[in-house]
Chain A
Amino acid sequence: MIEIRGLCKRFGRKVVLDGVDLAIPKGKNTVVIGGSGTGKSVLIKCAVGLLRPDAGEILIDGADITKMNEAERVRVRQKFGMLFQGAALFDSLDVGDNVAFALRRLKLYPERQIRDVVEEKLSMVGLRDVQRLMPAELSGGMKKRVGLARAIASEPDILLYDEPTTGLDPIMADVINDLIISLRETLGVTSIAITHDMASACKIADSIAMLYRGKIIEVGTPDEIRATSNPVVAQFVAGRAHGPITDENEEFVRFVRRTHAADEGTRRG
């Protein structure tokens, strides 16, 4: 169980998260949706302790990760596995060593068992006989699957997915969706995925939360989200170019043009 309360994060003057409240129930897939650059990645990076928020709490099984020292955070992080957007495989290590990375660092298994454990994790994501390949030899979909095998290798309680289907063809995207669902069923993990792919979100989510302007503006089951009355959420779900999200941008662009023209005017005058 993860509970996020009043989470704020700024970079310089740009406020990215402005009081996010979200509860992620145990053993469920929670998907956070939102446009590009709305701070979805920042949200999960705060959750795993890669970024330190400016304010707010993130309770992992009741313990607040934002108030921990580094040693405690290291211990809590072992509950997490994370799949990165570009898979983030270590290019100097082969697939087997990538998947075995945390197992060796934490000495979870004796060295002679590691190959078998790695083969088992790889088979969970539908790969076999790839241990000797280097990351550069893999396709995008295979990289994501190896990244997933690496994330589940140390048997975490919580899995974080950063844009799991971005950059994949529709079939491979659906393979990843199925994997995410099957991992929840077989391992019983709690998971948070962030995505802007609505098809994926609706397929894998037990509940969907929409992040907009630094806040969670709506939470619901996929059906509830699709039937929403909130015009912002409705625009995002339908993927329309016109609506409250883009109108504001257009208004902003018009505002900038106006002030710019006024500036030009005063300078000439």
Chain B
Amino acid sequence: MTEPARRSGAARLAEGLGERVYAMLQDLGDIFTLFLQVVSWIPRPPSEFRNVVKQMEEVGVRSMPVVLVTATFTGMVLALQSYSGFQRFGATSFVGSVVALSITRELGPVFAGLMVSGRVGASMAAELGTMKVTEQIDALVTLATNPVKYLVVPRVLAATVVLPVLVVFADLVGILGGYFVAVYLLGANPYVYIAKTYQYLQMKDIYTGLIKASVFGMLIALISCHHGFIAQGGAEGVGRATTRAVVASSMMVLISDYFMTSFMF
């Protein structure tokens, strides 16, 4: 009882920090194990095709509006900012290239990833967390069904496949948003804008963005399912799991984005 009180503040701080780091490493390890389990369950029967389609609808169709709105405004603000910046050294004709490259390489996938972390990550963690605390996951096991196969595999597959699709649309409306602001509000020449967009945009910019999106989708689904699975302690526990899932998957989107970018370019 009295022992911890005697320790200095620094020691307690270090201890707390150590515990945090330990918990984080354990989470990472568990998520990697979950990934391996998912991979090993994918080829085994019965097929979860219907569940995958259902999840694709949940992740894809339902996230489309938020992703489109985010991407449109990102493209618009990019055009606005780069136009006023480039005006200082008379390079406004490059606004189209800047918007197109930033959106396809970076902002399209990252903002879509962050939006999906919030929307889909939260709902996956909350749904699986509720199933955990109400013993529905135990019930699955007693009904001859592996929970990883039935619940995690469809979510991971759906998110991995659907996120790049979302990003294709995000790229498109982002570039259109930039075009709209540059041409109609700032008076840029539409032919120059389109020509510059084409001139510097390569296929590689687009497909690296889509690969990133795919990885983000997989990470978001894995992390959120993991936090749902380890939820305990009723409604409060489910709330905690949901928060953790959103925070962890948003951070992982940004962290993995840096490393993927450094490998790809």
Contacts and interface: CB of A to CB of B under 8 A. Distances in A.
- Assign chain B's interface to a size class: 10 to 19
Interface of A: 45, 48-50, 74, 77-78, 80-82, 84-86, 88-91, 101-102, 105-107, 150-151, 154, 263, 266-267
Given A105-B46, A263-B1, A263-B2, A50 B138 contact: yes
A90 B139 contact: yes
Given A50-B138, A82-B139, A77 B144 contact: yes
A101 B143 contact: yes
B139 A106 contact: no
Given A89-B136, A90-B139, A154-B144, 12 more contacts: A49-B141, A77-B141, A77-B142, A77-B144, A84-B138, A88-B135, A90-B131, A102-B144, A105-B143, A107-B46, A263-B1, A266-B2
Interface string B122-153: 00000000110011101101111110000000
Contacts of A48: 141-142
Interface in B136-172: 136, 138-139, 141-146
B132 to A, nearest CB: 11
A49 B1 CA distance: 38
Nearest to A160: B142
Contacts of B131: 90
A90 B143 CA distance: 12
Nearest to B45: A107
B134 A150 contact: no
A134 to B, nearest CB: 14
Contacts of A90: 131, 136, 139
A91 to B, nearest CB: 8
B135 A78 contact: no
6 contacts: A82-B139, A88-B135, A88-B139, A91-B130, A102-B143, A154-B144
A74 B144 contact: yes
Contacts of A107: 46
